[in-house]
Amino acid sequence: MATPASKDMTFYTPRLLLTLVSLVTAIAPYIADFNTTHVYNPLWPGHARFHNGQTMSMGAYLGLLTLYKTWVSSSNAVDDHLATPCVVGAAYYVTQASAYYYPGATAWDPPQSFGVGPVHLFVVVPMLSLVGVAFGMERWRVGRQGRGRGKGKAA
């Protein structure tokens, strides 16, 4: 028979392991890359910095998502079911948008040149909009289903 202490360890050990993974995932890319070998490397073109920034942001995004999902549980399984695929589906586009804010990052390297600034936003904004619309539509559908369950029942 399990003691209360062993139940606590069974509950916390996986969470502690995932916490360690999430912190390494979120922090290690910045330790490894936010220096003269990568972000501040004078030999790197701007577009390489862009993708390096996106990769570092992806580590932070996924690490924080893992930390959140490890320790915060939703009391509503429907909300959790909706939120998780939306947050995961948005990850690539959120981190792509963040990549413009890293030092020296550019959307294109010469000889390519486009008159529009952050041209990737022509992909980022529509894709994040689709995620938002999908989330909103599903929330509406589930809410409508929930309201409809009580109809027709005898009081």
Q: What is the largest CA-CA distance in the chain?
A: 75
pLDDT band, very low/low/confident/very high, at 74 (cuts 50, 70, 90): low
More confident residue, 12 or 132: 132
**pLDDT at 64 (0 to 100):** 95
Average pLDDT of the chain, as a whole number? 84
The H-assigned helical ranges of the chain are 4-33, 46-71, 77-98, 121-148
Q: What share of the chain has pLDDT > 70, as a percent?
A: 78
Query: Which position has the token pair 């890359």?
Result: 33
**pLDDT at 121 (0 to 100):** 78
pTM: 0.79
Comparing C-alpha atoms, which of 96, 90, 93, 98 is closest to residue 135?
Answer: 90
pLDDT tens digits, 7-56 = 666 778 889 999 999 999 999 999 999 999 999 999 999 999 999 999 99
**pLDDT at 99 (0 to 100):** 93
Query: Which position has the token pair 């539509």?
Result: 137
